[in-house]
Amino acid sequence: MKNGTIKRMIIFMVLCIIMLANDNSVEAKERKVESIRIKEIKQDIDGREVYIKCGVEDCPASHNKKFIDKPCAGGSDLRQIYAKTKKGKWRTLEQLNFKNMQGGCINGNKMIIAFVDKNRHKKGDLTAFVEIDLVKNKVVKVTMVQGAKDLNIKAFGHSNDFTYLNGKYYGSWYQKNGKKNYTSRIGKINTELSGKGTSSDFSENNKGKAAFGITSYIKENQLALGIREDVKVGKSSHLERYVSTCSVKNTKKGKAKYKLDKKLFNINRNTKYSVPQCMEQFNKKFYIVRFNKKINKDNNCIEVINSNGKKEKQYIIKNPKKISIYEKDGKKSTIEFENTNWEIESLSHYKKKIFYYTMYKPSSKNIGKQAYLYKVNLK
């Protein structure tokens, strides 16, 4: 065998070993977990307590303009939550074109979830915030932030992920709009969601960075960001994903200044679940949600990674399999979810080892788009 052939074989074997070493999917314990869907969500409408509808195309209640006093068999679709318009009319988020669910986080017993009217305006996505009481499973408030009212995007952009820190909500943009690249911006607003949100750049000097995930960290004024960076070497470039700490300094004028401090670890490859979606930090461990696009498979997993970058566990989150509805004749029928993808859009720690997450079906096939709320015990 010629020396050149031997050399190529050795290089190939070394590359294979490196790829296996960097592939987190083969290191940690993997198991499927059972989640509990929060099916029945309520909301007060002018003093009357009603249930949020299921939004299924074949459900008569979902297409009835009247509010419902009994829960749908199919549970509550978060896109059917009501918001009050300037004219005093109650309309669902779907009717108001805030159809796409994005990031969220928990503050005490309250969860906020962002909805965007994706690509509706030239300036970018506008944001509506839903606040849900997790004890009562009830919508507390729906807020159109100032940016949405004024049709500008100076606050939150795509609203990919959120976290709570020291009386403020922070959200990662993760978005490009036309010629402008806003992917390295972070939005900030007070917990009352009043006034205008503000945004600043965490990487002004390097536009190759984007934050897919954001979470509070250990110090009082410190965030951790899940970063996707396009690293250029000469004429070529490659993609790197990693977690970095980021200090926050709020100015007297209310804006925040961000500074990347320290790279904690690289996010290694996962051959089964390739796309990082969002992340959470609890007890010095990072919970990173990852997604795969395979049809008729469980699309999401949660990787548990310690602060040294070692992957300890991988939880497989099961896709919803079916939904029940009452048809016009009053008979109950079951609809199977076939040939659909489901995406986890946010993951938030609640108490002890209980987490909440939101799951979104972006396809309108079969029953229409759906957005659900779940809780899960990640033991």
Asked if residue 1 belongs to a domain, the reply is: no
pLDDT at 221 over 60: yes
Domain count, the chain: 1
Asked if residue 21 belongs to a domain, the reply is: no
* Domain enclosing residue 119, as ranges: 27-377
Asked if residue 309 belongs to a domain, the reply is: yes
Asked if residue 284 belongs to a domain, the reply is: yes
Indicate which CATH number applies to the domain containing 363: 2.115.10
Asked if residue 322 belongs to a domain, the reply is: yes
* The pLDDT of residue 152: 45
Q: What pLDDT, in 10s, does the model give residues 57-86?
A: 888 887 777 899 999 999 999 999 999 888
Asked if residue 15 belongs to a domain, the reply is: no
Compute the residue count for the chain. 379
Asked if residue 333 belongs to a domain, the reply is: yes
pLDDT at 6 over 70: no
Asked if residue 19 belongs to a domain, the reply is: no
* The pLDDT of residue 277: 94
* The pLDDT of residue 96: 86
Q: What pLDDT, in 10s, does the model give residues 366-375?
A: 678 999 999 9
